[in-house]
Amino acid sequence: MMKGFTMGLKKLVLASSILVSTLFAGTYNVDSEHTDIGFKVRHMMISNVKGNFNNFSGVFQYDEKSNALKDLEGKIKTSSINTSHKKRDDHLKSADFFDVKKYPYITFKSTKIENDKIYGDITIKGQTKNINLSLENGGTIKDPWGKQRAGFALSGKIKRSDFGLTYNSFLETGGVAIGDIVKFDIEIEGIKKR
């Protein structure tokens, strides 16, 4: 009987702490004009090709009291990939890579945020994996127009082959033309919903 009471009390305390943290959390829409979804991947094993996605949306919960990110979810339009090279971008949009007609979005939903790490489910080309990213918190500020803003940076990496992005060509000297590791460098700024 006492064990059941103790378990019930623990659940009540946990539920109360979650409720309190969400009471102080504000909902922010990602500001696409001040957000950059960047990536880079090895090319010919000697350099990196950099790019970004130009069309995306997202929302996050930010607790102003504890100055902490609480939740993040977003959606990236795969056809908005941009590496500043049209022929390469067209190839990346094809079935060899993102197959944008069949898989128009990349999605991300956080599952846990601890200290300077964010864990979440990312879905690319119909494959979902849990990944972790390093989190650098920028904090909040009121802008000159009276809007509350919050910002943070994320960095990390994935193996593109884990998501069915396996296209490659082999070099005569050995190795491959396109690396398997894709590194992310993301800057996010959001505006608090009124």
Per-residue pLDDT tens digits for 17-28: 444 444 467 999
Quote the DSSP letter at residue 54: S
pTM (predicted TM-score): 0.83
Reading the block at residue 156, the tokens are: 């990390």
Place of tokens 């990390």: 156
Under 8 Å CB-to-CB from 31, ≥6 apart: which residues? 149, 189, 190, 191
Reading the block at residue 88, the tokens are: 């390469």
Reading the block at residue 104, the tokens are: 């128009």
153-166 burial code (b ≥16 CB/10 A, e <16): bbebebebeebebe
Whether the predicted pLDDT of 132 surpasses 50: yes
Per-residue pLDDT tens digits for 135-188: 999 999 999 999 999 999 999 999 999 999 887 777 666 667 788 999 999 999
Reading the block at residue 19, the tokens are: 């409720």
Residue 48: the pLDDT is 87
Under 8 Å CB-to-CB from 141, ≥6 apart: which residues? 148, 149
Pairing mode of beta strands 56-63, 148-159: unpaired
Residue 86: the pLDDT is 96
Domains of the chain, start order: 25-192 (2.40.128.110)
